Amino acid sequence: MARELYDHGPSPVAGQAPGSASAFGWGAGVSGDVRTFGRDGVFFQANGGPGIGRYASDAGVAPGDSVISVDGRTLKTVKIWSAFLGYQHWWTDRLRSNVEASVLQASYPTELFPGSAFTPSGSFGILNRRLISSHINLIWSPVSQVDVGVEFIYLQRKTEGGQRGNLERGQFSTKFKF
């Protein structure tokens, strides 16, 4: 993927037209799945690049593709890479499990901003620098059109401001296919 990124917001600088800052962004990725035993298999994905933005994914979250300087004159790309690896095991014809681990790493062009912008209380301090997640589930298909599942998710987060946090979540799901 390759694209030219533009600032479309109002200019913070008097007399400067909006959209006058731009940057070239690109990204690449690879994904696939490999059957191992019977219906079991490994699945994977890796992608990254400066300006890949929403095309990188991890736990459904993607950082932005670019940031604009405080004076509104310079737009720079956010460098992102992400990857996941998982395994699906079929216990029976109607019962399966998935185990997955993933990581997303973002690098922001901090040289565009005053030092206080990347403190925990600064506007950019809350941006994700790293996300690491893992999932394990058990899914039962009592009939071919219905999936019923339980899943445990563990997520670690580190922000640009140095804050860290963990999330542990259990969830129940039902899917009807028609």
**What's the pLDDT score for residue 7?**
78
Question: What's the distance, CA 140 to chain centroid?
Answer: 28
The string of DSSP letters for 55-124 reads GS-BTTB---SEEE-TTSS-EEEPEEEEEEEEEEEEEETTEEEEEEEEEEEEE--GGGS-GGGGSTTSTT
Give the tens place of pLDDT for each residue, 95-139.
Answer: 999 999 999 999 888 777 666 666 666 667 778 889 999 999 999
Q: Are 26 and 50 in contact (CB under 8 A)?
A: yes
Residue 11: which pLDDT band, with cuts at 50, 70 and 90? low
Contact 47, 27 (CB under 8 A): yes
Task: Report the percentage of the chain scoring pLDDT > 90.
Answer: 56
β-bridge mates for residue 49, sequence order: 80
